[in-house]
């Protein structure tokens, strides 16, 4: 998903004070200059742009789920409850607040979003989840997340719109929904039970809806993998805009 994103900084205003130089100036009624009333030039209003202390677009319920220690947040905002299209932004938390990186188009599940994901429902789970593990068919591109490289990430077949799925799992980041953090994305442990689904990943976009994952372009997956750092306790905040605003 950005290695070095533009940062929202505090805007400083500087005033350049200039004096009037040159020859002597006439004064009204020939008053001595020292006794003339002076009028101070009003200072311009300066608006300070401050990074938000809370992730934009989140309501109190969603924001309460974001861990206090999180310093990176991948925010996935769906276009609608039943839409397969969304947008991804990586936010970094600094001393002045949350600063946004670039915005990337993305796909989510075919039928949109759900608050209670079930295996095979073709909806992506709404919520806040940690990001602890990555992997892929290709070698790691410079990520600091634990990375499992192997043929187990081979993708075959076609997607819902007939597009080839080959290469979709070249890079993946496991979303810690119904899985055991600290294991390969290929680990099939399901703490909530098999009926609640699993295997929800961020992965390479194949040009169409997913079964439950979130997908972005190969270039953006490489950027995201390089940007995420386990020491910054990254999370993903995902759902349709209306749900996230609750």
Residue 96: phi and psi, rounded to 5, are -105, 0
Nearest CA to 75 among 143, 128, 135?
Answer: 128
Residue 121 belongs to a domain: yes
Residue 26 belongs to a domain: no
Pair of tokens at residue 14: 């500087």
What pLDDT, on a 0 to 100 scale, did the predictor assign at position 50? Answer: 62
pTM: 0.80
Structural domain of 72: 60-244
Residue 76 belongs to a domain: yes
Using CB atoms within 10 Å of the CB of residue 212, give its burial: 0 to 12 exposed, 13 to 18 middle, 19+ buried: buried
User: pLDDT tens digits for 144-188?
Assistant: 999 999 999 999 999 999 999 999 999 999 999 999 999 999 999
Residue 22 belongs to a domain: no
Low-confidence ranges of the chain (pLDDT < 50): 1-40, 43, 46-48
What pLDDT, on a 0 to 100 scale, did the predictor assign at position 52? Answer: 80
Looking at the structure of the chain, the number of domains it has is 1
Residue 19 belongs to a domain: no
Residue 168 belongs to a domain: yes
Residue 227 belongs to a domain: yes
Is 126:115 a contact under the CB 8 Å cutoff? yes
Residue 75: phi and psi, rounded to 5, are -100, 120
Residue 155 belongs to a domain: yes
User: pLDDT tens digits for 47-68?
Assistant: 445 668 999 999 999 999 999 9
């Amino acid at each position: 998903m950005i290695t070095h994103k533009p940062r929202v900084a505090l805007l400083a205003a500087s005033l350049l004070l200039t004096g009037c130089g040159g020859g002597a100036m006439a004064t009204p009624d020939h008053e001595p200059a020292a006794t003339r009333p002076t009028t101070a030039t009003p200072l311009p209003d300066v608006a300070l742009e401050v990074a938000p202390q809370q992730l934009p677009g989140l309501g109190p319920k969603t924001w309460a789920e974001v861990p206090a220690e999180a310093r990176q947040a991948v925010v996935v905002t769906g276009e609608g409850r039943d839409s397969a299209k969304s947008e991804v932004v990586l936010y970094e938390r600094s001393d002045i607040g949350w600063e946004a990186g670039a915005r990337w188009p993305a796909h989510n599940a075919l039928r949109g979003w759900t608050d209670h994901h079930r295996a095979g429902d073709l909806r992506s789970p709404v919520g806040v989840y940690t990001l602890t593990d990555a992997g892929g068919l290709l070698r790691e591109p410079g990520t600091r997340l634990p990375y499992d490289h192997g043929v187990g990430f081979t993708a075959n077949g076609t997607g819902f719109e007939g597009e080839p799925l080959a290469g979709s799992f070249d890079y993946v980041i496991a979303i810690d929904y119904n899985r055991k953090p600290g294991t390969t994305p290929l680990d099939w442990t399901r703490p909530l039970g098999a009926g609640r689904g699993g295997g929800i990943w961020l992965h390479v976009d194949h040009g169409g809806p997913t079964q439950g994952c979130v997908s972005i372009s190969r270039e953006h997956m490489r950027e995201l993998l390089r940007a995420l750092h386990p020491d910054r306790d990254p999370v993903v905040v995902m759902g349709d805009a209306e749900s996230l605003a609750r």
